[in-house]
């Protein structure tokens, strides 16, 4: 049995104002191709399928197309809801979809209802068949305040509700293992201790105290986690697949991909990487404007989405326009002046208190907002505007 672990598709998300639906279609193309090429039996999607609870029509259409193509390629799909999804909407028609090979786990009632698949070693026809089975369980995103009472826990915390959910799964496994060999895979959308986060994930709880201990997943053959966008292994059996696309510049160094898990009658026999090709590179650049515009070292970033931080002592005029002349897809521009004058470093309130006339007040405000001193032309324009105001006041 071959499984492919993925998560956090975030269909419908934009990247700093740039729509990503075409890039997400490209990912679906790669995923369907990988299912056929690697003869994948089950695709696991561990939550955050959509980016919002009410996805657009075209976004829903993309998921519909993906599920049809994956099942047509010969794979079953096991899908859980994440904190970005609406569990009720995503779980619509789950019993009907199951007949077509798409298994949704978005309800508490389904925590201990696994997808059961026979595990057989390829061999001669006259060899005895294995009685081992693979049980795949799905833990949807659990909002502690909404599910604690229904799970029978007194404290509404991520730890307690996740412990209760995994406890129900273990009880079901014990019943099944009493009559045969059962290996287990669990999908869960949560923040597990030891995971490395990035800027594009939504905090699961106030203060970031929502991490659950890794030992809650002890004893399962494999735990397919979702929520964190960087692919990572917390232990050999507990892993995040990460998002298939980068959704923040903090993910510029990520290698996006998934995990392929092979399971036989004896359990997990191998885990390997699968990489996705990024439609666009991400560039995080820093330096003075002149150096960024002239250095040949940055030629590769001319076709990338760029986040640029300028370190000029004073903020250059028309910085974004000049940068986009070389880096057309500069999406984020920041300023971190290095070696600025004492005047630039002083607080706005102290500079305002030292202003001697209206022109100094206006120039001081402009310098504070832009991070650079006004030039002669700007001071002349402001002076002319102030003169016009005085003339109008005098004529009234």
* Residues 211-255 pLDDT 10s: 899 999 999 999 999 999 999 999 999 999 999 999 999 999 999
CA 249 to chain centre: 11
Average pLDDT (313-341) is: 90
**How many other C-beta atoms can be found within 10 angstroms of the C-beta atom of residue 41?**
17
**Which residues are CB-neighbours of 321 under 8 A, at least 6 positions away?**
none
365 has a pLDDT exceeding 90: no
342 has a pLDDT exceeding 50: no
Comma-separated ranges of CATH 3.60.21.10 domains in the chain: 2-275
pLDDT for 76 equals 98
pLDDT for 217 equals 96
Average pLDDT, the chain: 90
CA distance 54 to 161: 26
Quickly list H helices, the chain.
21-37, 57-72, 87-90, 94-98, 144-147, 158-177, 289-294, 319-326, 342-345, 348-354, 358-370, 376-395
**Which residues are CB-neighbours of 235 under 8 A, at least 6 positions away?**
214
pLDDT for 345 equals 44
Residue tagged 């089975």 (tokens):
133
Taking alpha carbons only, the member of 151, 152, 154 closest to residue 139 is 151
pLDDT for 373 equals 82
CA 135 to chain centre: 27
pLDDT in tens, 28-65: 999 999 999 999 999 999 999 999 999 999 999 999 99
pLDDT for 392 equals 75
pLDDT for 207 equals 39
- Number of helices (H), then strands (E), belonging to the chain: the values are 12, 17
Q: Note whether 192 and 237 are within 8 A (CB).
A: no
CA distance 42 to 62: 19
306 has a pLDDT exceeding 80: yes
Residue tagged 């049809």 (tokens):
68
Q: Which sign, positive or negative, has the C-alpha torsion 262, 268, 270, 271?
A: positive
Token pair for residue 120? 């057989």
Q: Percent of the chain, pLDDT > 90?
A: 78
Q: Percent of the chain, pLDDT > 70?
A: 88
pLDDT band at residue 368 using 50, 70 and 90 as cut-offs: confident
pLDDT for 194 equals 78
Domain 2-275 has CATH 1.10.3720.10: no
124 has a pLDDT exceeding 70: no
């Amino acid at each position: 049995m071959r499984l492919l672990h993925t998560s956090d598709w975030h269909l419908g998300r934009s990247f700093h104002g740039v729509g990503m639906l075409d890039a997400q279609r490209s990912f679906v193309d790669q995923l369907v191709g990988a299912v056929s090429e690697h003869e994948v039996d089950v695709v696991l999607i561990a939550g955050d399928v959509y980016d919002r609870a009410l996805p657009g029509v075209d976004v829903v259409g993309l998921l519909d197309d993906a599920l049809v193509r994956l099942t047509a390629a010969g794979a079953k799909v096991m899908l859980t809801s994440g904190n970005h999804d609406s569990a009720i909407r995503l779980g619509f028609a789950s019993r009907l979809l199951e007949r077509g090979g798409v298994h949704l786990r978005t309800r508490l009632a389904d925590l201990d209802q696994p997808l059961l698949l026979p595990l057989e070693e390829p061999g001669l026809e006259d060899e005895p068949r294995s009685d081992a089975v693979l049980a795949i369980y799905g833990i949807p995103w659990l909002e502690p305040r909404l599910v604690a009472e229904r799970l029978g826990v007194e404290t509404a915390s991520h730890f307690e509700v996740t412990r209760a959910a995994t406890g129900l799964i273990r009880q079901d496994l014990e019943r099944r293992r009493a009559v045969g060999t059962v290996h287990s895979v669990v999908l869960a959308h949560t923040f597990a201790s030891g995971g490395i986060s990035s800027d594009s994930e939504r905090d699961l709880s106030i203060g970031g105290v929502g991490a659950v201990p890794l030992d809650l997943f002890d004893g399962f053959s494999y735990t397919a986690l979702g929520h964190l966008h960087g692919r990572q292994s917390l232990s050999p059996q507990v892993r995040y697949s990460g998002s298939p696309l980068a959704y923040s510049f903090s993910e510029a160094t990520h290698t996006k991909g998934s995990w392929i898990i092979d399971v036989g009658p004896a359990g997990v026999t191998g885990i390997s990487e699968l990489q996705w090709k990024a439609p666009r590179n991400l560039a995080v650049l820093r330096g003075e404007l002149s150096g960024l515009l002239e250095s040949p070292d940055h030629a590769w970033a001319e076709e990338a989405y760029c986040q640029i931080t300028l370190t000029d002592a004073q903020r250059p005029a028309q910085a974004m326009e000049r940068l986009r002349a070389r880096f057309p897809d500069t999406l984020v521009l920041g300023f971190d002046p290095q070696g600025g004058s004492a005047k630039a470093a002083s607080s706005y309130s102290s500079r305002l208190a030292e202003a001697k006339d209206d022109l100094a007040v206006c120039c001081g405000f402009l310098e504070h907002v832009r991070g650079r001193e006004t030039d002669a032309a700007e001071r002349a324009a402001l002076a002319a505007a102030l003169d016009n105001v005085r003339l109008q006041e005098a004529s009234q």
